[in-house]
Structure formats: C-alpha cells, structure tokens
Structure 1
C-alpha cells in the first residue's frame, strides 16, 4: 500500500499557539449514514479511543467532556493507546475492509459558515485522515503518521448564499442541520481505505485545522482492517451489529433512514440548501430518463460520482445502421476521468481534444440498469467549489432520437375547439442534429392548423390524431412557440390529454 506524505504535516508538527477559541472531536468512527442530518446512536458501530469516557452513547451528542485536543509532535492523541481498556462492548473498536468508504461524525461546536444563522467567514483550514503503522504498539510521534486522505476545506468567504447554505460540503462544515443547533449539530465526513491495504490493526488520526493550518485538533482511534467485506460483516454480526456499508442520506437511505443502522429519527427532506446540490440526485442535461450523473464525494483534487444508465438504454438510433455514443463533459478542466463498474472493471473511454470523454454504445448496452462509478481528478483551484457543480455535468447521447416533453396550452377555448401555443425551448436553436415537434391528440377526428411552423403530417398519421410539425430556419430564430387552432366534435379533451414532444435525431 502506497500512502504519500503531505506537506501539511510539517505545519501540524510545528503547532503554533491557538489563535482563537474553537474545538471539536470525533464522536463515531463507523457511522452508517453519510450526509445525515440528525445524530442516531443506533447508527454508530464503532467509537474513538476512550469513547465510553468521552463520547458515551448515553450523553447528548456534542456534550463537552474535555475530549477536544490540540495534538503535539510527542503526543498526537488525547489519551495514550490502550486497546484493552479504551474500548468496551458498548463502545467497540472499528472493523474495516480494504476499499471501504468509512463515515465518521463530529459535533459542529458553532464552527460552520452558514449565512442562515452565522456568517460566511467562519474558517476551515484543513481536514485530513492520517494512519499509523500496521500492528504498531504505542502511538508514534505525530510525524510518524502518514496521510491517508485529504478531505478538503469547506467554502468560506465572499460567496453567494446558494453555495454557503448548500449541503453536502467538503471539509469540516458538512452539517445540513447546523442552524437548528449550532453547538451540537451532526456533521459527517468520509474517507476510503486503499483497496490494497494489508489486513492488520491500525491507529487512525483525524486532524482538523480551524483558524489556521497550525490550529489543529486531533482525535485518534484504532481499527482492525480485515481481508474482505464478508469478513467485516461477520465480525459485526458476531457482536450483534448490522452489517453492510453506509448509505447516503441524499440518495439511497430510504428517505433518510439508514439501510444498515438503527432507527433514523430523521426522515423528510434532505435539507440541502440549493436546488442544484450535487448529492440531490437531480438529473443532468442529456437523454431524459436515460443517463444521469450525481457526485457522491468531493475532495481537494478528486471527485467521485455515479452515472446511472436506465434499463431501456439505448434510445432509438437516428441512423439504424450506425451505433451512437455518449459524450460526458465536466464543467471544469480535468486531468483524467475513469469510468468503472464496481472497483475494478474499467469501461473504456476516449478523451477528445476539447475535454469530452466518449463512451461507446457497445460498452454501455451490457450495463443498462446499472451504475458506473466515475472518478475525476483535477488540479488545485480548478475543480468544483461545491456539489452544485454536479448539476452542470453534461451527458449527451449522440446519434440517437431523443424526446423532450413540451408545454401545450390553450389561450382561448370555445365549444368544440380552441386556440393556443406549443412552447419551444431556446436550446433547439443550437441542436446539432435534426429536430421536429410531434403532437398526439386523444381522438383523431379533428381539424388542426398551425402557424410559426409547417405541418408535415401524413394522412395516415392524421387518421391516428398524430401531427408532425417543423419550423423553417427564420421562424426558429425569431419565435419561441408554435401557434395552433384545433376544432373537434368527436370527443372532449383537456390540455393534459394532449402530448406534445420535441424530437431530436442527434448528430
């Protein structure tokens, strides 16, 4: 296992004096709900060192017991290592497996920049997970720990409220319900163990820098890393705990209830502050109900996400003799993007000169109904500043027929008919391929006339109540709708009974 050192360690070792009051600590070292809103002791499967003394399950979450600690070179942890006495049956040691994404918790202790209840300028200067040697004895010096993962920093400063009040966040301040209880709100973070991490017992260290990179608080805990997820689950079941990996409150926790932990006590809305929050699971541009993208983790130089492929992929080809492809474009320059199934099966992709990653239809069809894990690496300062960037990842099926619903409404109604509009999107003006509008009525015996468009329906289509309309170029550039009149005597229908669709034939 290769774990690189980080330049920030020198700053941790130096440990300048504290600049202002501030404190926090790790309260749970294996929580079964990522990005959760409310603390639930039933979802905590493991505790930090001396947890029964300092973070007992019986106490209110975030209660001050003197557990906050400024780590020092000669004493990196609040208490000395004592595996036999620092853990109990009610407050057990963690059990992990290589490749596991581990979720941990800590109280906010008033240290979150959220204009909804504090301000934009509460600092976060770093949030890292370090690890000691395998099967070590006493704690090493602080410089003897190795950086396992840099968890990034939370957004602070002169930024819009849509960013500052949006969750999840990278870094320390990922607490969706902070404004409900600024002192004791639940915050969660997560890190992933290397897939080649050797089984053994390790000491982990959380380092959070508050006012400056040198104003650093630490918490320590031990964990047994076992060979596989199955072995981890067996260990958990033997001590009467639920197995399985952590779910994400915003995407797969069954409306806020963990699939693996105890009772939730949460439920309801996700609590994210902005409509474009990256973990909200909102669909991106592209093929409706066909491909979607959402970030699941955001760190300093790497973001991970999931790309979902619908069970009915691919859509109809624009040319039956030519397979299509899927283009993925990120809203920032990336070093590379890796698309994979699970942890090892990489799906080939080709990067174009303008930074688009191309996936072939042949590689994606066998994965219909599945999800791809996407890992994106980027340089400092060019990546997404918050999860809302996920809403701007563009996934574009190329070479397919796509259907986009349109608004159809009456401006005037009269007996047996009416006059109205079909509203067209501005995006049609820059579509790379052919497009037209299809309108289907619930009964065929009618007279349908249009302006700002040309009716190109066949007699057979009209006999089924279906109409095909195209816009000449000058009307495409100068109007944003198709006007119509319809006269019908065979049946009565409402606007919602009419289906209007923009059909795109791709490149």
Structure 2
C-alpha cells in the first residue's frame, strides 16, 4: 500500500471513530405499533409508526438513524445549567432540531413533518430509537425515562416538573442487533398510559442518560381521546409483564444479551 493510500485509510478510520464517539440518540417513532405486541421488534419489517416527535422530517429520505448528520442534527443534549426540557434550536450543549411547544399544530405535525400520536387512557404505547453505537456490552445502560404530566398541557413544562412525573423507565439497550452495524441498530420500549387521565393534548418527553448527568431528550404530544369500545394490536389496556429494569410501566427487553 502506498503512503497516500495509507494516509487516506487512516483519515477514514479516524473519521469513523469520531462519528461513532459523537453519535447520540433521539426518539425516532413515538407511536410504534409492533406486528407482535407480545414480542415487539423494532426493525422496519417488525411494525409501523403512527406518531412522531415534534417537527420530525418524515420525508427526508434519510436512513434510519442518520438524522444526527443533518443540520440541524436530531439529537439534543441538555445544558446542566438550565436543563431546557425540549430543544428550541438554540439552547443546550447540542441544540438539535426544534422540538419546543407550538400552539399551532401545523408547525409541528403534518405535511413535511410526521403525524401527532393519538391514544386512549390505559393504552399501551411503544417508542423506538436508534442505538447510535451505545447499545454495546462495554457501556452501562442508564435507561430511558418517559415523562408526562398528569393534566393536559398548553406549553412545555420545566424539567424539574417533568422529573416528578416519570411514567416509565425503559432499558436503552433493548434492541434488534444488526451484525456489524451498532450505529443503525433499532431499539425501543413500551409503557402503559394511565387509565385515569382525562382527554386532551399531553406533552411527552423521552430522556436518555448516556453518562452521569449527560442527558438527551426528545419531545412530542399525544392527543388523548375518551375511551371507546374498540381496540387494535397496540391498544391493550391489560397490565404488561413486569421486568426488573422498569420502575413504572413496563419494558420489552427481549434481547438481554446486549444488556
């Protein structure tokens, strides 16, 4: 191999390592409906998405897990000095795409953005995210927190308030492994909405702790409607199997070899 070829290979390797080191995650789909609710899968053939985070670019034609290389990137890292709950495109150590509250739904959902999720009280909901090289054996799984208020919202709540309203804690490394590609590996988890919540628009937050006090969040809304005597594969209100990792709600860790 020539010196030039060697240098090019070295640069490519370093670029890849940097990309892997700086790769951080976000909520890809906030209403993922698996084909098999009893053993959820997170790959494209394992289910379908019915709801997305705010201003999620569904028509970007980007590969699953690639939105961190866009400008603005999708992941948002909070600044410990203020812990802004949802990215406004400015705050944070890594601002990310805008996910702050918009009174007009058309500014966050529909058109070039994904649809807003809808649900009924007690419904089981699943969220999906890309592993971004962090669902590996040598990294500690600090978990994903699903936060939501007890009443409908007309704006984004402070992080201190959301932390008092944690609905579920899910294992981050609950994934469908892709051999040789830990970056685009799909992961996810499920939880039940409270059975006693009233109808209205609720703010939700996906909050992942990568390292101690290093937090990444995604925000979305769910329109909760009054219960109906109709059900589908994702509307079960039966208690989900309890796992040791979850503090509230449930998880779906069926690939424990990654934990």
TM-score, normalised by the number of residues in structure 1? 0.37
Corresponding position of 1:107:
130
Q: 1:304 to 1:48 in 2, by over 3 A?
A: closer
Cα distance in 2, alignment partners of residues 86 and 302 from structure 1: 29
Q: Is residue 2:65 matched to residue 1:62?
A: yes
The match for 1:84 among 106, 116, 122 is 106
Cα distance in 2, alignment partners of residues 302 and 121 from structure 1: 26
The match for 1:48 among 53, 57, 67 is 53
- Length, aligned pairs only: 206
SS in 1 for 2:52: coil
Q: 1:62 to 1:304 in 2, by over 3 A?
A: closer
Corresponding position of 1:209:
209
Deviations 1:59-105 (A, max 9, x none): 21111230101135452112221133110056110001111110110
Deviations 1:208-254 (A, max 9, x none): 10122x11110000011111145xx6xxxxxxxxx71339xxxxxxx
Q: Which has the higher contact order (CA 8 A, sep 6+)?
A: 2
Deviation at 1:304, TM superposition (A): 6.8
Deviation at 1:40, TM superposition (A): 4.9
Deviations 1:361-391 (A, max 9, x none): xxxxxxxxxxxxxxxxxxxxxxxxx7699xx
Q: Is residue 2:124 matched to residue 1:123?
A: no
Corresponding position of 1:300:
246
Corresponding position of 1:132:
149
Cα distance in 2, alignment partners of residues 40 and 57 from structure 1: 19
SS in 2 for 1:144: helix
Deviations 1:276-313 (A, max 9, x none): xxxxxxxxxxxxxxxxxxx84524347879xxxxxxxx
TM-score, normalised by the number of residues in structure 2? 0.69
Q: Which runs of 4+ in 1 moved over 6 A?
A: 302-305, 386-389
Deviations 1:14-71 (A, max 9, x none): xxxxxx745100011111115314225971001101112xx54632111123010113
Deviations 1:170-214 (A, max 9, x none): x001112243521111111111111111111110001110122x1
Cα distance in 1, alignment partners of residues 214 and 204 from structure 2: 19
Cα distance in 1, alignment partners of residues 106 and 147 from structure 2: 22
Corresponding position of 1:24:
25
Q: 1:30 to 1:197 in 2, by over 3 A?
A: same
Corresponding position of 1:149:
167
Cα distance in 1, alignment partners of residues 26 and 250 from structure 2: 26
Q: 1:58 to 1:40 in 2, by over 3 A?
A: farther
Corresponding position of 1:71:
78
Q: More displaced, 34-43 or 85-94?
A: 34-43
SS in 1 for 2:211: coil
RMSD: 3.1
Q: 1:303 to 1:85 in 2, by over 3 A?
A: closer
5 Å-filtered alignment, 1:487-498, equals none
Structure 1 stretches of 5 or more lacking a match? 1-19, 114-119, 153-170, 234-242, 248-294, 306-385, 390-507
